[in-house]
Amino acid sequence: MSFFKKLKEKITHQTDSVTEKFKDGLTKTRDSFVGKVNDLVKNYRKVDEEFFEELEDILISADVGVHTVMELIDELKDEARTRNISDAVDIQPVISEKLAELLQKSEEETKLNMQEDGLTVILFVGVNGVGKTTTIGKMAHKFKEDGKNVLLAAGDTFRAGAIEQLEVWGERVGVDVIKQHAGSDPAAVMFDAIQSAKSRNADILLCDTAGRLQNKVNLMKELEKVKKVITREIPDAPHEVLLVLDATTGQNAMSQAKTFGQATDVSGIVLTKLDGTAKGGIVLAIRHELDIPVKYVGLGEGMDDLQEFQADQYVHGLFADVLEKAEEAAGE
Amino acid sequence: MAFEGLAERLQGTLNKIRGKGKVSEADVKEMMREVRLALLEADVNFKVVKEFIAKVKERAIGQEVLQSLTPGQQVIKVVNEELTALMGGEQSKIAVSTKPPTVVMMVGLQGAGKTTTTGKLANYLRKKQNRQPLMVAADIYRPAAIKQLETLGKQLDMPVFSMGDKVSPVEIAKNAMDKAKEDHHDYVLIDTAGRLHVDEDLMKELEEIKELTKPDEILLVVDAMTGQDAVNVAESFNERLGITGVVLTKLDGDTRGGAALSVKAVTDTPIKFAGMGEKVDALEPFHPERMASRILGMGDVLTLIEKAQSSVDEEKAKELERKMRTNDLTFDDFLEQLNQVKSMGPLDELLNMMPGAGKMKGLKNVQVDDKQLGHIEAIVQSMTKAEKQDPSLLNASRRRRIAKGSGTSVQEVNRLIKQFGEMKKMMKQMSGMQKGKGKKKKGGFNLPFM
Ligand SMILES: Nc1nc2c(ncn2[C@@H]2O[C@H](COP(=O)(O)OP(=O)(O)OP(=O)(O)O)[C@@H](O)[C@H]2O)c(=O)[nH]1
Ligand SMILES: Nc1nc2c(ncn2[C@@H]2O[C@H](COP(=O)(O)OP(=O)(O)OP(=O)(O)O)[C@@H](O)[C@H]2O)c(=O)[nH]1
Ligand SMILES: [Mg+2]
Ligand SMILES: [Mg+2]
């Protein structure tokens, strides 16, 4: 079976709304991006230097990052040579395959590390305005729907209205929020929240933190302290540290992943705002260089707009039109 | 892979040229490739980069670089000049309407910093221009968005107009205008909800607000970390609304900020302000020429110097400069410097602005906190006068004595001596830049290979 067919089949078997939403979110993206790849395939029937240059531009325009793009292109060139591919149409599946492979080695790795019994603590970290608080709201909804007992910790005591924002989400979803007043010590909030979670027998505690730019040493130290307090109370917690990345972000996301990774041992990425036209291609580079997997994607501002990450869907979303075209061409 | 500045990028090519003694067109081409990569790594949109490279190449091949004895410097000069030209002049002015109130509308993607910037701008207008702005909470969608603006209003002790989240933003804007006139506000700052540029309904809403309030200023708020998509965002907002300017936020981070160039290139509207932090006073005029060197990874030298100047006292600075020039910096000066650096803000932030600071490994680890300052103080005080002035005297036995005397360890003493050396180097570099800035128009960057 061809790679397209496999991909397509896999996706059609996946439940409907998930895929639809994902595709929906990415169609806006596609118009420009895939349009370009389309043109590329149309304009260049042959796989030559010019083809690769053009492809390089397309990947760069998706924020994949220069370094990773270069490596990827080199690999593709090798592949084209060894597989003896000269037609542009034939190189498409190789591209998709490579990207999907790079992003996800197994489906297991997008799963959250949930405790069978007892409390699971998830800490959310990231720079300002990326969508930490919103993602917590969405995730709380998801877990609540699964019948879990969820609690939120209002660890952003700094930004104006941050506690209230989380409270609105708590009300919306129907879960409690543990908070202190604005300006209080976030580590103390976490301590409180863990005690509450324990005494209420909560299944899941989702911890919000204030947005911070990764070059602020003091704020990063504060974050380390927050994490330490959690670990002190529950030795194997936090069970997940999710770095929230905005898909609109360019190369700086790599520096974010590095620094937050060092400070808090990030276990996964939530890539938000994929409903826009940005593609967050930097996650490819992050995966490649730091081996941090994307676990969830944000596709809007609503409660239901959070999806488990699926690499082939992601890649399919980017290349959907091309894939169809290529398949048609192959069927001819 | 860490980002490399343009200077480092060109190094390889230049080494090759050095051996040959002559620059060929092929060399220029190779250099242009490096320039392209540097810009792409800085998040400048690839189309913008293409046009830009074409322009620079033309100038470079037009003999400016080919015939130069210092081709590296020439390339950087040309690139810097073209970049600065593209960024445009400084235009950090907010419109004033002849018929008050002046209306300013903040628009942009989710989380870009609109609400925070609304607060900052209100503060700026009051502080710098003695205005009485009214902030308007027109984001009815984001949870607690109104509360956020109201909290900022409270912090600033400035009024915020809101009607809750059950009234349409257009309606809110309309009522706010009446209220502003009634209360004689001279500025109305409308905070709108974050939205995607492809969200038809919400873009329409902005058009309606515009239609109704006839803003004098529509500011697109853009996150400095934005990648390639910045052009699409800016293009759409500009097409729909006709933006009058841009505010670039989160520039206090370590992003290169190539989005600045992209946005400028597609909208041709000035970037008016830079957001430099989360607090309400962290709004600064935007300096296009500084942005150019930041994008090129040459450090935000001017900002650094300015920061240093504003917190170092004039007399001491002069004395220090003399010492730097004559290179007779002592350990006492070092202590003094550390104290001053401390008052300038976190050292790592300063280092981020320094060209080539990444290379000074010793310096990177200087954490200027009080405890360490205490140790350093103790070490310096355990030195003899002669030792303070001439670190070369500090042999192993002297170091041991000092460690003992100060209650620290030999390692700590060694580290300090090393840091002192680095500090001296840094100071020399800084003084070189400052001098260069005044005298010649060479750009004043101290690049190691030039
Ligand atoms: N379109 C879209 N908007 C999103 C998504 N996720 C979050 N947002 C919006 O992005 C903005 C910022 O989200 P927040 O959740 O407040 O971000 P944060 O990281 O908590 O921000 P700080 O706490 O200020 O650092 C809000 O307007 C959200 O509604 C998404 O997946 N898609
Ligand atoms: N470090 C830094 N943070 C900033 C700056 N400007 C805004 N922020 C932070 O960025 C986050 C988002 O800012 P907001 O003002 O809520 O952004 P917004 O555009 O109003 O967001 P929405 O209304 O959700 O679209 C907050 O955490 C702010 O504190 C800046 O210049 N520097
Ligand atoms: Mg938040
Ligand atoms: Mg807002």
Q: Given an 8 Å threshold on Cβ–Cβ distance, is B255 in contact with A159?
A: no
Q: How far apart, in Å, are the Cα atoms of B379 and each of A74, B124, B338, B399?
A: 54, 44, 14, 10
Q: Given an 8 Å threshold on Cβ–Cβ distance, is B113 in contact with A128?
A: yes
Nearest CA, atom 6, ligand 1: A131
Give the model's pLDDT for residue B351. 53
Of A67, A165, A249, nearest to B143 by CB-CB distance is A165
Model confidence band, residue B307 (pLDDT cutoffs 50, 70, 90): low
Distance B137 CA to ligand 4 centre (A): 9
Give the model's pLDDT for residue B326. 64
SS3 content of chain B, % helix, strand, coil (to 5): 60, 10, 30
Please give all residues whose CB falls under 5 A of ion ligand 3, grouped by chain where several chains appear: A 132-133, 156
Of A108-117, A275-284, A318-327, B140-149, the poorest mean pLDDT is in A318-327
Q: Given an 8 Å threshold on Cβ–Cβ distance, is A67 in contact with B196?
A: no
Distance B107 CA to ligand 4 centre (A): 9
Give the model's pLDDT for residue B434. 44
Give the model's pLDDT for residue B444. 29
**A-chain residues within 8 Å CB-CB of B278?**
128, 158-159
The answer, for B112 touching chain A at a CB cutoff of 8 Å, is: yes
Give the model's pLDDT for residue A121. 97
Distance B5 CA to ligand 3 centre (A): 33
**To the nearest whole percent, how much of chain B has pLDDT over 90?**
47
Count each helix (H run) and each strand (E run) in chain A, helices first: 12, 8
Cβ contact A28:A275 at 8 Å:
yes
Cβ contact B263:B223 at 8 Å:
no
**How many whole angstroms separate alpha carbon A317 and alpha carbon A20?**
10
Residue of chain B nearest A129, judged by CA positions: B111
| pLDDT over threshold 60, residue B22 | yes
- Quote the strand ranges of chain A, DSSP E: 120-125, 150-155, 176-178, 204-209, 240-246, 268-272, 294-298, 306-308
**A-chain residues within 8 Å CB-CB of B229?**
63, 248, 276-279
Report the range out of A101-110, B107-116, B399-408 with the highest average pLDDT: B107-116
Give the model's pLDDT for residue A211. 97
B82 CB-near residues (< 8 Å, 6+ apart): B52, B55, B56, B59
**To the nearest whole percent, how much of chain B has pLDDT over 70?**
73
Give the model's pLDDT for residue A322. 45
Q: Which residues line ligand 2 (CB under 6 A)?
A: A 128-129, 159, 211, 213; B 108, 110-116, 139, 142, 145, 193-194, 221, 249-250, 252, 275-278, 282
Distance A147 CA to ligand 3 centre (A): 25
Which residue in B309, B312, B303, B310 sits closest to B349, CA to CA? B303
Atom index in ligand 2 nearest the CA of residue B108 equals: 19
**How many whole angstroms separate alpha carbon A174 and alpha carbon B7?**
55
The answer, for B5 touching chain A at a CB cutoff of 8 Å, is: no
Atom index in ligand 2 nearest the CA of residue A162 equals: 27
Sign of CA dihedral B81, B86, B88, B92: negative
**How many whole angstroms separate alpha carbon B311 and alpha carbon B270?**
30
Of A57, A130, A249, nearest to B227 by CB-CB distance is A249
Of A169, A215, A249, nearest to B226 by CB-CB distance is A249
Q: Given an 8 Å threshold on Cβ–Cβ distance, is B3 in contact with A160?
A: no
Of A14-18, A210-214, B330-334, the poorest mean pLDDT is in A14-18
Cβ contact A204:A119 at 8 Å:
yes
| pLDDT over threshold 90, residue B225 | yes
Per-residue tokens: B357: 């600071």
pLDDT digits (tens, 9 = 90+) for A198-209: 999 999 999 999
Give the model's pLDDT for residue A207. 98
Atom index in ligand 2 nearest the CA of residue B116 equals: 15
- Higher-pLDDT residue of B261 and A90 is B261
Q: Given an 8 Å threshold on Cβ–Cβ distance, is A276 in contact with B229?
A: yes
| pLDDT over threshold 50, residue A181 | yes
**A-chain residues within 8 Å CB-CB of B254?**
213-215, 252, 255
**To the nearest whole percent, how much of chain A has pLDDT over 90?**
56
**B-chain residues within 8 Å CB-CB of A154?**
none
| pLDDT over threshold 50, residue B215 | yes
**A-chain residues within 8 Å CB-CB of B367?**
217
Cβ contact A190:A197 at 8 Å:
no
Give the model's pLDDT for residue B441. 30
Once rounded to an integer, what is the mean pLDDT over residues B19-47?
Answer: 83
Which ligand ends up closest to the CA of B280? 2
Report the range out of A37-46, A65-74, B326-335, B344-353 with the highest average pLDDT: A65-74
Model confidence band, residue A310 (pLDDT cutoffs 50, 70, 90): confident
The answer, for B372 touching chain A at a CB cutoff of 8 Å, is: no
| pLDDT over threshold 70, residue A102 | yes
Mutation choice for ligand 2 from B278, B279, B283, B349, CB with most ligand atoms inside 8 A: B278
Of B151, B254, B346, nearest to A160 by CB-CB distance is B151
Of A109-123, B54-68, B129-143, B215-229, the poorest mean pLDDT is in B54-68
The answer, for B352 touching chain A at a CB cutoff of 8 Å, is: yes
Give the model's pLDDT for residue A30. 44
Distance B115 CA to ligand 1 centre (A): 13
Give the model's pLDDT for residue B47. 92
Of A15-24, A63-72, B19-28, B393-402, the poorest mean pLDDT is in A15-24
Q: Given an 8 Å threshold on Cβ–Cβ distance, is A248 in contact with B42?
A: no
Nearest CA, atom 12, ligand 2: A129
Which residue in B262, B114, B291, B91 sits closest to B195, CA to CA? B114
**How many whole angstroms separate alpha carbon B259 and alpha carbon B265?**
10
Give the model's pLDDT for residue A43. 59
Q: Given an 8 Å threshold on Cβ–Cβ distance, is B43 in contact with A250?
A: yes
Mutation choice for ligand 1 from B106, B110, B146, B221, CB with most ligand atoms inside 8 A: B110
- Higher-pLDDT residue of A131 and A276 is A131
Cβ contact A220:A209 at 8 Å:
no
Provide the mean pLDDT of chain A. Answer: 84
Give the model's pLDDT for residue A20. 56
The answer, for B228 touching chain A at a CB cutoff of 8 Å, is: yes
Q: Element (H or E) spanning B107, and its range? A: strand B102-107
Distance A129 CA to ligand 2 centre (A): 6
Q: Given an 8 Å threshold on Cβ–Cβ distance, is A28 in contact with B349?
A: no
Whether ligand 1 lies within 6 angstroms of the CB of A280 is answered as no
Which residue in A269, A189, A178 sits closest to A222, CA to CA? A189
- Chains A–B, number of C-beta pairs less than 8 Å apart: 157
Residue A134 Cα, gap to closest chain B Cα (Å): 9
Distance A277 CA to ligand 3 centre (A): 23
pLDDT digits (tens, 9 = 90+) for A122-176: 999 999 999 999 999 999 999 999 999 999 999 999 999 999 999 999 999 999 9
Atom index in ligand 1 nearest the CA of residue A306 equals: 31
pLDDT digits (tens, 9 = 90+) for A58-101: 788 889 888 888 888 898 888 888 888 888 777 777 777 778 88
Is residue B398 classed as helix, strand or coil in its secondary structure? helix
pLDDT digits (tens, 9 = 90+) for A255-270: 999 999 999 999 999 9
Whether ligand 1 lies within 6 angstroms of the CB of B110 is answered as yes
Give the model's pLDDT for residue A229. 96
Give the model's pLDDT for residue B437. 37
Give the model's pLDDT for residue A321. 42
| pLDDT over threshold 80, residue B130 | yes
Q: Given an 8 Å threshold on Cβ–Cβ distance, is A248 in contact with B41?
A: no
pTM recorded for the entire structure: 0.79
Give the model's pLDDT for residue B311. 54
| pLDDT over threshold 90, residue B135 | yes
**How many whole angstroms separate alpha carbon B312 and alpha carbon B144?**
42
Mutation choice for ligand 1 from A28, A127, A134, CB with most ligand atoms inside 8 A: A134
- Higher-pLDDT residue of B340 and B359 is B340
- The gap from C-alpha B292 to its chain's centroid, in whole angstroms, comes to 10
Q: Which amino acid is at A276?
A: G
pLDDT digits (tens, 9 = 90+) for B246-258: 999 999 999 999 9
Provide the mean pLDDT of chain B. Answer: 81
Give the model's pLDDT for residue B24. 77
Give the model's pLDDT for residue B447. 27
Instruction: Among A53, A222, A248, A271, pick the best mutation site for testing chain B contact (most B Cβ within 10 A).
Output: A248
Once rounded to an integer, what is the mean pLDDT over residues A106-134?
Answer: 92
